[in-house]
Structure 1
Amino acid sequence: MKFGKALVFVLVLAIITGALYIGNEQEKKTETKKKDWALVIHGGAGTISKDKPDSVVKAYKNDLSEALAVGEEILKNGGSALDAVENVINYLENNPKFNAGKGAVFTHDGGHELDAAMMVGNTREAGTITGVKTVKNPISLARLVMENSKHVMFAGDGAEKYADKFELERVNQDYFFTEHRHKAWKRALKREKQEDAQSSVIDLSPEELKQKYGTVGAVAVDKEGQIVAGTSTGGMTNKKFGRVGDVPIIGSGTYASDVVAVSMTGWGEKIMRAVSGHTVSAYMKHKPASIEEAGNYLLEDVLDKGDAGMIGVDKKGNIFMGMNTQGMFRGASDSEGNREVAIWK
């Protein structure tokens, strides 16, 4: 009888020891030396043709590299992740190649409605705006909402009125016009007319699904440990009736917690349904898991193939750039001299 009790005790002890070992191994996976700073950016994900002329590919990579340089300069000199994220996204918003700010797509009615969001993970402060029409750099308005308002989100006319309180650069709708976006809008209207489609914008044609999504975003962690996510977009071509995508929805397309900052790009409705940003953070916290494991879980197990791309940085400066699409305009840099700009897998 005593031998039996002793055996049971040994077995229980072995199980507990094994569980502790597994737990310690999981913790080791996420334990790395903190980098002084790290920065990751994206300029949209989707089916990006590899048949693009070399000159076009080079131009995109040069622009991504310049955007990285904007943030690097701030972070190298001890600046904040907040400033780095805002200034990188300002650069991308001012670049007509990307679907944010100057290069925003056309709505069904032939206008431009812009969304943006910013969040600081350490404090969970956040600011988002949706449906603005006259703000040159929406990410800057999102930051002002975060820092100056007791509210988190302003929409449409309300966001415009809130912008009136500050010395933000304002533009008319003509500023956002680009020829390639205009042609894409005309093609979308023609398809809609041919198909006699009265469905919502999420019922996309195969041709529309092949288009890259041009949302821009940046995530960063600085020397002080501040961790920030920001995203800006013109939305989806031919979007209708006040449609709001994932970008300004905290926890979906933009999210930062005390462990990770995430910015998404892709099919907004799918990203929202998965509460993607928060899903990554929760997976890291409660699994526990590394940023790579959490990002792959979202893209491979939660979302469907072709839905999205994701960038992220954890509190130690570990980065993630992943997608279940063919490509994503992206780049990353850190204090240890690692630097990358890429488009395809």
Structure 2
Amino acid sequence: MMHSDHVFLVGAGAEAFAQERGMGLVPNDTFLTHRRHAQYAAWAEQHKRGTVGVVVRDAQGHLAAGTSTGGMMGKRWGRVGDVPVLGAGTYADDAGAAISCTGHGEYFIRESVAYQVNAQMIWGQKTLADAAHYTLFEVLNADAGQGGLIGLDAEGHAVMTFNSPGMYRGAKGVEVRSQTGVPTRYVGIYGE
């Protein structure tokens, strides 16, 4: 990107830029071997999705959130999910909360879910638990979106809320308000 004023190009624009710079384009299957395809197929059968999220508060009280996605199987080329869109799948604000989300990214982008939880706390004067519940069960459900989130506020209150059939989750060093009425496959709450 030393030959452009831009630092992030995708899709047809990125391909046009590469061709302008004299780089050849080859079909994607050029990089596919039978062995790697078989490995991927075996892995994909066991791992339909694999989002990993974290929310933390440091010793000075600063909040941070991070999210890494496993992606979505069968997506269209060029699709961008919620993880790289600030406020959709990840958001942190020392005045509100740190939020990391998982689920069908299109819905999280449309509703700016991570940011909306924080905004509900700051402007709506909701607790983290109430803001998370409202955003997932009222806003996201109205749009038919499924997923969940983990969140941590400046006082150390944590939530792990989801409107999907289940969400693997765990915590260390906090007391988490448990969610009732939704079946889950696994819950791990770890003490210090």
Which residues of 2 match residues 140-151 of structure 1 at below 5 A? none
CA distance in 2, matches of 1:344, 1:279: 27
Which residues of 2 match residues 255-274 of structure 1 at below 5 A? 255-258=91-94, 259-274=96-111
Cα distance change, pair 316–155 in 1 and its aligned pair in 2 (3 A): farther
| Residue in 2 that maps onto 1:254 | 90
2:50 maps to which of 211, 214, 224: 214
| Residue in 2 that maps onto 1:316 | 155
Give 1 or 2: higher helix fraction. 1
Cα distance change, pair 183–327 in 1 and its aligned pair in 2 (3 A): closer
The alpha-carbon deviation at position 283 of structure 1 amounts to 0.3
CA distance in 2, matches of 1:154, 1:249: 13
| Unaligned segments of structure 1, at least 5 residues | 1-150, 159-171, 185-210
| Unaligned segments of structure 2, at least 5 residues | 1-5, 15-30, 179-183, 188-192
CA distance in 1, matches of 2:174, 2:104: 32
Contact 1:221 1:227 (C-alpha < 8 Å) held by counterparts: yes
The superposition leaves residues 87-138 of structure 1 with CA deviations (integer Å, 9 ceiling, x where unpaired) of xxxxxxxxxxxxxxxxxxxxxxxxxxxxxxxxxxxxxxxxxxxxxxxxxxxx
Q: Say if 2:121 is the partner of 1:284.
A: yes
Larger mean CA deviation between 277-286 and 301-310 belongs to 301-310
Contact 1:330 1:343 (C-alpha < 8 Å) held by counterparts: no
- Residue 67 of structure 2 aligns to which amino acid in structure 1? T
| Residue in 2 that maps onto 1:238 | 74
CA distance in 1, matches of 2:137, 2:121: 15
CA distance in 2, matches of 1:310, 1:178: 28
Q: What SS does structure 2 have at the residue aligned with 1:320?
A: strand
The alpha-carbon deviation at position 344 of structure 1 amounts to 4.8
| Residue in 2 that maps onto 1:47 | none
Percent identity, aligned pairs only, is 40
* TM-score (norm. length: structure 1): 0.39
CA distance in 2, matches of 1:292, 1:245: 25
| Residue in 1 that maps onto 2:137 | 300
The alpha-carbon deviation at position 291 of structure 1 amounts to 0.5
* TM-score (norm. length: structure 2): 0.68
Q: What SS does structure 1 have at the residue aligned with 2:85?
A: coil
The alpha-carbon deviation at position 154 of structure 1 amounts to 3.8
The superposition leaves residues 297-338 of structure 1 with CA deviations (integer Å, 9 ceiling, x where unpaired) of 0111101266111111011111010100110010111167x7
Q: Decide which structure has the larger Cα Rg and report it.
A: 1
CA distance in 1, matches of 2:9, 2:62: 27
2:42 maps to which of 153, 177, 180: 180
The superposition leaves residues 210-253 of structure 1 with CA deviations (integer Å, 9 ceiling, x where unpaired) of x9642111111111112101011132112122100001100100
CA distance in 2, matches of 1:154, 1:323: 32
CA distance in 1, matches of 2:49, 2:136: 16
Q: Say if 2:170 is the partner of 1:331.
A: yes
Which residues of 2 match residues 17-166 of structure 1 at below 5 A? 154=8
CA distance in 2, matches of 1:298, 1:335: 22
